[in-house]
Amino acid sequence: MGEERLTPHAEPRSLASFVMIGLNLTFLGTGTSVGVPMVGCECEVCRSEDPRDQRLRCSVLIETAEARWLVDAGPDLRQQCLRERIRELDAVIFTHPHVDHILGFDDLRRFTVGRDESLPVYAQASCLRILEQMFFYIFNGENRYPGYFKPDPQVIDGCFELGATEVVPIPVEHGKVECAGFLFRRGGRSLLAYIPDCKRIPEASMAALDGVECLVIDALRDDPHPTHMRLVRPG
């Protein structure tokens, strides 16, 4: 999968329904935890000129008529925001606290600098705790000046809303860490599920995904991996 835009809804009946129901997904990064190419690797993929072999750390931008947000903010966040000219955000949602999904947290200050507003940051309690440990200087309230990032921590413990979008956490198994993907519903339709890191989907989560129109899911490589799903090619 290249880093491209797609509009994951099926044939809108009219422009009006597109605006009401539409949800635009931009892949900011689809790479592994160390990115592709890998530092210090001379393999065929890492030497490839193919743009599909240039992958930043996992993150997506989701835009609707009334709100825009990121899912995850990894170490490539700055470059990704510059590339896509992201100037404003209404929220950031975190799937889990692995460093390739959270290390851009400090760079989120560009979205609160000069504004007296905070940026809502949604994560499960265990993930928020790790963010608060790693970025203690952001959360402890000391030395706060206008350039500091001002997060507004929101604990995810069920569905929540961003504008007219219902966000449904989808708990998944991904090694030892508590991890979730997210289902985005608008106008009664399950438009998109985004599950970047996952080894197994529990039954209840599978049921919640029933009828989803577009599923973006982990498929790390051909060979089995202890904490990620793999790609099994037909035939």
Stretch that binds Zn ion, among 96-104, 113-121, 128-136, 156-164 (CB under 5 A): 96-104
Residues 157-216 that bind Zn ion (CB under 5 A): 197
Question: What's the count of helices (H) and strands (E) in the chain, helices before strands?
Answer: 6, 12
The residue among 55 and 185 lying less far from Zn ion, judged by its C-beta, is 55
Q: Measuring CA to CA, how many Å separate 168 from each of 52, 152, 177?
A: 30, 20, 19
Binding residue (CB under 5 A) for Zn ion from 1, 34, 46, 113: 46
**With contacts defined by CB under 5 A, how many residues of the chain interact with Zn ion?**
6
Distance CA 122, CA 130 (A): 13
Cis peptide before 37 (omega within 30 of 0): yes
Binding residue (CB under 5 A) for Zn ion from 9, 55, 57, 98: 98
Q: Is 218 in the site for Zn ion (CB under 5 A)?
A: no
Binding residue (CB under 5 A) for Zn ion from 15, 16, 43, 204: 43
Left (φ > 0), alpha (ψ -120 to 50) or beta: where does 35 sit? left
Chain centroid to CA 27: how far? 9
The residue among 186 and 228 lying less far from Zn ion, judged by its C-beta, is 228
The residue among 41 and 206 lying less far from Zn ion, judged by its C-beta, is 41
Stretch that binds Zn ion, among 35-43, 72-80, 144-152, 159-167 (CB under 5 A): 35-43
The residue among 6 and 46 lying less far from Zn ion, judged by its C-beta, is 46
Contacts of 17 (CB under 8 A, 6+ apart): none
Q: What is the closest distance, in whole angstroms, from the C-beta atom of residue 170 to Zn ion in the complex?
A: 15
Across 13-164, the runs of DSSP E, i.e. the strands, are 24-29, 59-63, 68-71, 91-93, 119-123, 151-155, 160-162
Q: What is the closest distance, in whole angstroms, from the C-beta atom of residue 8 to Zn ion in the complex?
A: 23
